[in-house]
Structure 1
Amino acid sequence: MLYCKSFCQKLNLHRLRSISSLVQTKAFIDGNWVKAQNNEEFEVFNPANGAVIGSVPNMDPKDANQAVHAAKKAFELSEWSKMTAKERSSLLKKWYYLIEKNADELASIMSAESGKPINEARGEVTYGNAFVEWFAEEARRICGEVVPSPTKDREIIVLKQPLGVAALITPWNFPMAMITRKAGAALAAGCTIIIKPAEDTPLTALALVKLAEQAGFPNGVINIITTNKAAPIGELFCKSPDVKGISFTGSTEVGKWLFRNSSDGIKRLSLELGGNAPFIVFNSANLEIAVNAALSCKFRNCGQTCISANRFFLQEEIHDKFINLLKQRVETLKIGEGSEPGVQIGPLINTMQFNKVNAFVEDARLKNANIISGGKPLTNLGNLFYSPTIITDVPVNAKLYTEEVFGPVVSIVKFKTEEEVINAANNSNRGLAGYFFSENIQQVFRVAKLLEVGMVGVNEALISAAEAPFGGVKESGIGREGCHHGIDEYVEIKYVCMGNLKY
């Protein structure tokens, strides 16, 4: 039996490599594909079946420091610092077209290591590549200013200059898009980068960097290190004077740790952290639109997105009807391995996440919430599958209400008035995204302004786009990604005063 399991795992690894030449087994520093200096590796697993699909270097701060030095050298001494905005734009466009050409291979790698359905993986490739395209165009629009001077013999000039070396720390739930959203902006601004992908999903990141190499970025401009020991490398990024900025997407707890550890150097930080998104359905809502939005907002990527709806607030009049409609739709969702045709929900990413979701549901059950659908592991499918779940009458002291579940669980609370639900929605230290559904135009403008979040979806759940600013308030982060504001995280503003001029 052990032999059979080992053989099957090797077969899965061989199949993935035979499908895609983009599967890499080394990291990339200063233009070279390298092993860890300690020669250690760690395995990457398919969460749907436990199969080993790759091994990558298990790097430590020595390797990270090597990447920092390579990025610093590339920023200060190489042709990168001398390139025009048009030349940087051209390289980003080449990367964009290579990603587009290899979209199916990227999606297959992503689905295998993250467990997400193949159609969702293809969608992420398109979405993630949109950031490369957007910032390829934005590279030529990083404009300074000439400000009217208060005196006749001076001119006030404002320049935008690249920050320097930027460390990009990305999560497993969107292993491509979270990289391109950061890397596209940093490279467009003229920064050099070190990417540290999540340990669960390094293969997608390495494949992206392989395509960047093919696009022709100079040595040291793009570096990537892989590890399952993130904390010491994060600390190096925080303490190194050569790292001028850190962009992180992940948990609020780790974001706070990075914030504290970067304080000595007053380092530039961009933090996109956890959420606890309210999903409000008012009596006037179009229920068909609201139910469709609930499905996409809650069950995309098995609920493992930072802007997933977490607390569902239903007004009294439509409460029962909405639940009945949602229950009918949820019970038809196809669950299985991401590569299978028609699958809509895959596994959770790892055992820790599975145990968290299960514990949150059990906590709600003990606190007398009403589980009307799901609420149990799907052991017949594998070790990390959890049934799509609907829970009503969730008390305010339940973990499902106060914390981000990051799983396929709908937790429902009934409300009476607009004022009541606004207070409940805002009663959180998180403020990333919020959603509400109403056909009352006055209510739409009123509620959109009152919700304490960085992003609001009004009669819409799929709100992310390269053209829009992404980020939160409160403990959900600082800074914005995407949009033209995404460039701001990677530039310094320099004021030049030209004095004693004679006209």
Structure 2
Amino acid sequence: MNKMAQKLAPSGVARDFGFFIDGEWRHGREMFERKSPSHDVIVTRIARCTEDDLNDAVAAARRAFENGTWAGLASSERSAILLKTAELLKQRRDDIAFWEVLENGKPISQAKAEIDNCISCFEMAAGAARLLHGDSFNNLGESLFGMVLREPVGVVGLITPWNFPFMILCERVPFILASGCTVVVKPAEVTSATTLMLADILTEAGLPKGVYNVVTGTGKSVGQALTQHPDVDMLSFTGSTGVGRSCIHASADSNLKKLGLELGGKNPIVVFADSDLEDAADAVAFGISFNTGQCCVSSSRLIVEESVADKFEKLVVAKMEKIRVGDPFDPETQIGAITTDAQNKTILDYIEKGKAEGARVLCGGNKVDLGRGQYIAPTLFTNVKPDMSIATDEIFGPVLSVFRFSTLEEAISLANDTVYGLAASVWTKDISKALKVTRKVQAGRFWVNTIMAGGPEMPLGGFKQSGWGREAGMYGVEEYTQIKSVHVDLGKRTHWIA
């Protein structure tokens, strides 16, 4: 561990957080203690909110929406507040990253890079707020003029996961705000700190009270109540496909609220023999190891052309064996801790299932003992059959399965052999081949000769059981609006009753 890693570490004193409603901090009657998954010490105490607290938050968001203190502002004023938030995030980047690492376990270098992306999200949304517009129809005849208005959908409930607590928050909140909506956020119980920290930043930036509210607690209590709440107009949920289904049922059983769902993934990375194999191997190792594989767009299925498969597997093994697993506060660390005890057990159980079902481990497949925390070595399986658990299930960890193909059609078939359709990547020097795969593979995000690239200008979302709707970019702002058709009669009415 270098000097930088020695300077950054838990203080030994846990930080207490309240929850944020209508521009004010409240104290929780019960608190949840969060241990750092890297250091095994308590780092935060978070309030366990009640359903009454949630009702207060939704009521505050409703008042703020109805009284027009936010939706009624000129887009230039909303834009200015979003830009001010971006500036404040730049000033507090290191502090936010510190708390993100403490609760999540991801490497500090990654956390800082994610906050840079969050800053870009607020900057992008600031511009989008000023560009949001409707349409007009001047073709309805001499006496009729048509307009299409985009109006904010209203009160938005936002449920965020523990794998990217701040980045997923910021891929949604600025776009929700740009549309003129108000929001109630329920962060993951184990990673609530940075969501709460954003409340102070938004307040300092000038956001009116009641526009951004945060309630903390479990998904079974507060999260479920938010999905069912009759005064929430739209719910945005990021998490597993199973919980996504429960959101659909809750919406159907309450007020048929609009839903935005970013759910699971079992994402293919297709490598052809004519690609730059060194580059592709590095991308494969990165794609499964980034955020310890706890990433919905992780490329967890490697589909490689038969003629180079043996060679390519060796290249990937060489890359994966060099990945630095360690203390997340060490800037040289590339893989940090597994975020929760339950997820740690899930990943290790899948590794054992893979072995039991006949797949062969080429590297990894084991825990990494650093004396504290929970770490897993990047794992590569070969001899994987399409019906194995490691081939079909979203593991959400650094576990990669290898498949082989002989023809382009077979590669596409293997890539689509999943209920999910979140992301995909193809590697080839043949642009015609790349475009054929891009067109045929069912995925909401696609990368050609790169992986996990892009920015907040581009929409996020999935096909099939990977979700509904799109986040980020202009599409992400429009997602939080509803469309109203307006017809204006320009002449005297022709009477129906003579």
1:27 matches 2:16:
no
**Which TM-score applies when normalising by structure 1?**
0.93
Distance in 1 (CA, whole Å) between partners of 2:288 and 2:240 is 18
The answer for the alignment partner of 2:221 in structure 1 is: 232
The answer for the alignment partner of 1:495 in structure 2 is: 485
Residue of structure 2 aligned with 1:149, choices 115, 129, 139: 139
**For residue 240 of structure 1, what is the amino acid of its counterpart?**
H
Moved over 4 A (4+): 13-17
**Offset, 1:129:** 1.8
**For residue 10 of structure 2, what is the amino acid of its counterpart?**
N
C-alpha spacing 1:89/1:280, structure 2 compared with 1 (3 Å): same
The answer for the alignment partner of 1:407 in structure 2 is: 397
**For residue 305 of structure 2, what is the amino acid of its counterpart?**
Q
Q: Is the 8 A contact 1:172 1:200 kept in 2?
A: yes
Q: Is the 8 A contact 1:197 1:205 kept in 2?
A: yes
Q: Is the 8 A contact 2:456 2:472 kept in 1?
A: yes
**SS state at 2:61 partner:** helix
**Offset, 1:464:** 3.9
Distance in 2 (CA, whole Å) between partners of 1:440 and 1:115 is 39
Residue of structure 1 aligned with 2:243, choices 232, 254, 263: 254
**Offset, 1:80:** 2.0
Q: Which moved more, 1:341-350 or 1:269-278?
A: 341-350
**Offset, 1:234:** 2.9
C-alpha spacing 1:162/1:105, structure 2 compared with 1 (3 Å): same
Distance in 1 (CA, whole Å) between partners of 2:106 and 2:291 is 6
Q: Is the 8 A contact 2:355 2:361 kept in 1?
A: yes
**Offset, 1:316:** 1.1
C-alpha spacing 1:25/1:190, structure 2 compared with 1 (3 Å): same
Residue of structure 2 aligned with 1:444, choices 434, 440, 443: 434
The answer for the alignment partner of 2:3 in structure 1 is: none
**For residue 381 of structure 2, what is the amino acid of its counterpart?**
I
Distance in 1 (CA, whole Å) between partners of 2:104 and 2:231 is 33
Q: Is the 8 A contact 2:324 2:332 kept in 1?
A: yes
The answer for the alignment partner of 2:256 in structure 1 is: 266
The answer for the alignment partner of 1:21 in structure 2 is: none
**SS state at 2:17 partner:** coil
The answer for the alignment partner of 1:197 in structure 2 is: 187
**Offset, 1:239:** 2.9
Q: Map of 1:239-388 to 2, 5 A cutoff?
A: 239-264=228-253, 265-388=255-378
The answer for the alignment partner of 1:12 in structure 2 is: 10
Q: Is the 8 A contact 2:157 2:227 kept in 1?
A: no
The answer for the alignment partner of 2:87 in structure 1 is: 97
Identity rate, percent: 34
Distance in 1 (CA, whole Å) between partners of 2:117 and 2:128 is 17
- Number of residue pairs aligned between Structure 1 and Structure 2: 483
Q: Is the 8 A contact 1:162 1:191 kept in 2?
A: yes
Cα-Cα RMSD: 1.5
Q: Which moved more, 1:67-76 or 1:230-239?
A: 230-239
The answer for the alignment partner of 2:5 in structure 1 is: none
The answer for the alignment partner of 1:4 in structure 2 is: none
Distance in 1 (CA, whole Å) between partners of 2:479 and 2:98 is 32
**For residue 76 of structure 2, what is the amino acid of its counterpart?**
K
| Runs of 5+ consecutive residues of structure 1 not aligned to the other structure | 1-10, 18-23
The answer for the alignment partner of 1:429 in structure 2 is: 419
Distance in 1 (CA, whole Å) between partners of 2:387 and 2:347 is 16
Distance in 1 (CA, whole Å) between partners of 2:491 and 2:371 is 76
Distance in 1 (CA, whole Å) between partners of 2:68 and 2:31 is 31
| Runs of 5+ consecutive residues of structure 2 not aligned to the other structure | 1-8, 493-498
**SS state at 2:236 partner:** strand
